[in-house]
Amino acid sequence: MSSTRRDFLSNTSKLLAASGLTGFTASPLLTGDDDRKKINTGKIVVALIGCRNMGFGDLENALKIPGVECGALCDVDSEVLQKRSADVMKIQGKAPALFKDYRKLLQNKDIQAVIIGTPDHWHCLPFIAACQAGKDVYVEKPLANSIAECDLMVNAARKYKRVVQVGQQQRSGPHWKQAMDFMNSGKIGQLRKVNIWSNFNYGVGQPKLPDEVPPAAADFDLWLGPAPQRSFNKNRFHGSWRMFWDYGGGLMTDWGVHLIDMALWVKGITEPPIAVSASGGNFAYPDRSHETFDTMSVSYQMKDYTINWEHTAGTQLGPYGRAYGLAFVGNDATLVIDREGWELFPELDNGKYKVAAMPKQAGRDSHEAHMRNFVDCIKTGKDPECTIENGRL
């Protein structure tokens, strides 16, 4: 174990041992209306922690908003860091400061907001540190890998009065809102259950590979961070880490987070289910490198409806000819939706539709709208579309 990792784990254990975050010393924060107005009239400087895929996509969306500037990037892989620095330079004509350690980045008082796009096992710690440092936070989903981590993050956000947007961007999507309004108007009748599925091929993992020496450009020790010590394997690193329990939860915590969120949102659910039952395992693809389940079924018993999750990784095609989606089953019709749009399947009564047929409603990407909502809330101090409490569900 390197001295960097040893020091990090020592400091982290002390931080997390502080019940209710009492170990933090509050920093000067931008919490008052006057301070938010100052942000509203000037530029907003953001930083990105975790620069590969989704994180950088989030940053690109932020930089499309007038008045937003990238002040810093942080990544444990120097090749990724240099590439993204060049990308940012092309976008804004100004190079960001570069860091390998997020703790040093957070010392920069000019940075007002942080985007966290790290692997899932690295969400909690920089999030808490960012809140303590007085930064508003856009954190990718899932919020964290455990309920305990989620609770620490909720406590930090509320203690330090931060604006937090969780990257469950469908809550900002116009066609998702339209579908929710349609169902809440009563047009599908009483909602009885929501069937959800996601069958993407990547859920089976990559062909197995032997362990090897970590790439020179990456600080693999720091990449592991709070996760258990492991030998380096490409299949547990960039691009496929989420198929291992140390870092992620497979299709369930990748797509399930997005889709199950919609099944909760339609009813405004804020409490846990009454009961949960689950089954599954790795029943296929023994030549593939993954720990998370390739086959899984979960049923959530809510107060007056049920939510059913299914994934069968590698089959790709699912119900209604869609690889993923939700089917909201009501007495009078079933509404089926994904990111491409939604459509209605009316029930019949004596050969007649219970609900008038309608053409498929088109959807569009909601990532930009979600980031714009976050930036607007930085200025106003209002709650964004997906609060940290929503993300914790």
**How high is the mean pLDDT of the chain?**
92
CB 389 within 8 Å of CB 181: no
Instruction: Check if CATH label 3.40.50.2300 holds for domain 3-169+370-392.
Output: no
CA separation, residue 56 to residues 46, 75, 235, 266 (Å): 12, 11, 21, 30
What pLDDT, on a 0 to 100 scale, did the predictor assign at position 344?
98
Six-digit token string for 235: 């299949």
- Statement: residue 321 has pLDDT above 70: yes
What pLDDT, on a 0 to 100 scale, did the predictor assign at position 167?
98
**How is the chain split into domains, by residue range?**
3-169+370-392, 174-205+240-363
Whether the upstream peptide bond of residue 142 has omega within 30° of 0, thus cis, is: yes
CA separation, residue 25 to residues 21, 29, 31, 308 (Å): 9, 12, 16, 43
Measured at the CA of 193, the angle between CA 257 and CA 198, to 5 degrees, comes to: 35
- Arithmetic mean of pLDDT, 52-64: 98
Tell me which CATH code domain 174-205+240-363 carries: 3.30.360.10
Among 43-47, 190-194, 349-353, which is the least confidently predicted range?
Answer: 349-353
Q: pLDDT digit string (tens) for 135-174?
A: 999 999 999 999 999 999 999 999 999 999 999 999 999 9
Residue showing tokens 């964004």? 384
Residue 347 to residue 328: CA distance in whole angstroms: 13
Q: Could you tell me the pLDDT band of residue 242, with boundaries at 50, 70 and 90? A: very high
What pLDDT, on a 0 to 100 scale, did the predictor assign at position 317?
85
Residue showing tokens 């979960």? 298
* Stronger pLDDT, 318 or 12, i.e. the higher one: 318
What pLDDT, on a 0 to 100 scale, did the predictor assign at position 38?
54
Six-digit token string for 358: 């309608």
Residue 74 to residue 51: CA distance in whole angstroms: 7
* Stronger pLDDT, 8 or 324, i.e. the higher one: 324
**CB-based contacts of 293: which residues, under 8 Å, 6+ apart?**
250, 252, 280, 281, 282, 311
Q: pLDDT digit string (tens) for 62-118?
A: 999 999 999 999 999 999 999 999 999 999 999 999 999 999 999 999 999 999 999
pTM of this structure: 0.92
- Arithmetic mean of pLDDT, 327-332: 98
Percent residues over pLDDT 90 in the chain:
88
What pLDDT, on a 0 to 100 scale, did the predictor assign at position 299?
99
- Statement: residue 59 has pLDDT above 50: yes
What pLDDT, on a 0 to 100 scale, did the predictor assign at position 42?
80
Q: Could you tell me the pLDDT band of residue 249, with boundaries at 50, 70 and 90? A: very high
Q: pLDDT digit string (tens) for 22-53?
A: 444 444 444 544 455 556 558 999 999 999 99
